[in-house]
Amino acid sequence: MNNKIIFEKIIQKKTSKNIIYQDKQVTAFYDIKPQALVHFLVIPNIYISSLNEITKKNKDIVGYMMYIAIKIAKQLKISDSGYRIVVNCNKNAGQEIKYLHIHVLGGEKLNNIN
């Protein structure tokens, strides 16, 4: 199955994925392979393959995705202790699914990125 289709099914609620938050613009859900105690994704409800596809027309979605990530981090009580936001862009950066998404990791001490 195309990975893009997995995210589209989550948005349409056609899968059992645990959705944390959803509105007209974005959907947030827990990662199936968590890399931290708390690990969720925020995706736009419109298809954008990667950060490289951000244009003047759709640029506001990235800021909104960040806003929702912060809002959820506060709700999950990881904002005070700290969390990490990661966006992988294309293959060499580790983007496995060709659909723009923000990883939010926290809930424990994370390894430093040097």
pTM for the complete prediction?
0.92
Domains of the chain (ranges, CATH numbers): 3-106 (3.30.428.10)
- pLDDT tens sequence across 36-92: 999 999 999 999 999 999 999 999 999 999 999 999 999 999 999 999 999 999 999
Cβ pair 42, 31 in contact under 8 A: no
For residue 30, list its beta bridge partners: 40
For residue 86, list its beta bridge partners: 103
For residue 94 the two structure tokens come to 């580790």
Secondary structure (DSSP) of 25-86: SEEEEE-SS-SSSEEEEEEESS---SGGG--TTTTHHHHHHHHHHHHHHHHTT-TTT-EEEE
**Residues catalogued as catalytic:** 101
